[in-house]
Amino acid sequence: MNNPARASVLIYTGISLAAAFLFLLSTYATGISYPAVARIGGAVWVFILSMIITMPVVISYVNKRHI
């Protein structure tokens, strides 16, 4: 991609979505009957925290690779 900002957004959003999906899968894999609110709320929480953590890391990595 020519635009490093767009590439960064796609990468860290994909990582965060994957983390949230893995969280949902893990709640089903345990076999424990969690309420839907807890599963969805947890997935949203994981997504938000993943975005906060990966955003600066991915942006700096992509900018270094682009220059």
Can you state the angle between helices 4-29 and 36-66, rounded to 10 degrees? 150
pLDDT score recorded for residue 1: 56
Whether residue 66 has pLDDT greater than 90: no
Tell me what the mean pLDDT of segment 31-48 comes to.
Answer: 95
- pTM for the structure as a whole: 0.88
C-beta neighbour count of 65 within 10 angstroms = 9
Average of per-residue pLDDT across 19-34: 94
User: Is it the case that residue 43 has pLDDT exceeding 90?
Assistant: yes
Buried b / exposed e over 33-46, threshold 16 CB at 10 Å, is eeeeeeeeebbeeb
Residue range 23-40: mean pLDDT, rounded: 94
Mean pLDDT over residues 12-16, rounded?
97
